[in-house]
Amino acid sequence: MGTNASGKSSLGVTLAKTFDGEIVSADSRQIYRGLDIGTGKLSADEMSGVPHHLIDVADVSEQFFSLAEYQEMAYRAIDDIVVRHRPPFMVGGTGLYVRAIVEGYRFEAAPPDYERRRQLEAMEPAELWSTLAGYDAPVAGRFDPRNKRRIIRAIEIIEHRGSYPEEIRNEPRFEFLQLGLTWPPDVLRERIEKRLALRLDEGMVDEARRLMDRGVTPEIMESLGLEYRHLAKLILGGYQDESEFFENLSRAIYRFSRRQMSWFTKQSAIVWLDTSGDYVAEATERVAAFLDRDSPQSR
């Protein structure tokens, strides 16, 4: 895991090839079909024959993919990889996705009601929060009033079971080695700008236009993160030109990367790779030691 533009995807492929493993994506947007250039999905050549799981598994028009749904699919993918005696590598920067698997989050069962979700999705965040508060004010106080997805899921649970459950103890299912990858601030800023320029050259704006032509609303684009939020603004005339768009988006991505680091550094189990040296070799050595920890030679 690590910040935007840190090189997580390519490092994951290198490690998976070295150890005959497979990759489970931990990216909340690469789940969706059609979000290719803007999310930095690897091409078939870049995947180098390494199987990748949990990419292109949902339609962006559905727009709602819960953490519990991700966890269920990730567990299935990991179990399938392990039963074939290959190591699974989770790769991605969506920290909550990683923690849901590493820490074994438990979720209150409530089957999704897609018709009800569509009704709730049409509501403004303040209205949603008021709806939740009407059911249970103390529960509503636990949620950020701007976080539509979490509030909608809380409403679903309450409507299904009549109340919102108290905190549920986690149940980790696997042992993990957690590796983090980032760069010094000035280097990271440069990497972000270079990556954004490349994605623009590859047709990122046209990709966004195709999504909106297919009926993906500005509201959905807004929920898909920084790139698509700013792309929608560009397409709808909110920027004077692409230069202004580039400057604003690159700054926003950098600020987001700093927030990512603030979140990641609270996770004491992450081993941060030293990018001032040969971090690929360091990662390879750490993975080898982790995989060999139960072998007779390591005792």
Q: Annotated binding site, which residues? A: 2-9
Q: What residues are paired with 88 via a beta bridge? A: 22
Q: 150 is written with which tokens? A: 């979490």
In the block, residue with structure tokens 């989770």: 90
Q: Which of 189, 170, 164 is nearest to 6 (CA)?
A: 189
CA distance 180 to 58: 27
d(CA 66, CA 28): 10
The amino acid at 236: L
Write b or e for each residue in 125-141: b if 16 or more Cβ atoms lie within 10 A of its Cβ, otherwise e. Answer: eeebbebbbebeeebbe
Considering only CA atoms, which of 14, 51, 31 is closest in space to residue 41?
A: 31
Which of 283, 27, 21 shows the shortest CA–CA distance to 177?
A: 283
Residue 95's nearest CA partner among 4, 195, 2, 10 is 2
**Residue 269, token pair as written in the block:** 């189990």
Where is the binding site for ATP, in residues?
Answer: 2-9
Q: How far apart, in whole angstroms, are the C-alpha atoms of residue 183 and residue 33? A: 30
Measure the CA–CA gap between 218 and 228, rounded to whole angstroms: 9
Q: What are phi and psi of 293, to 5 degrees?
A: -65, -25
SS (H, E, C) 141-197: CCCCCCCHHHHHHHHHHHHHHCCCCCCCCCCCCCCCCCEEECCCHHHHHHHHHHHHH
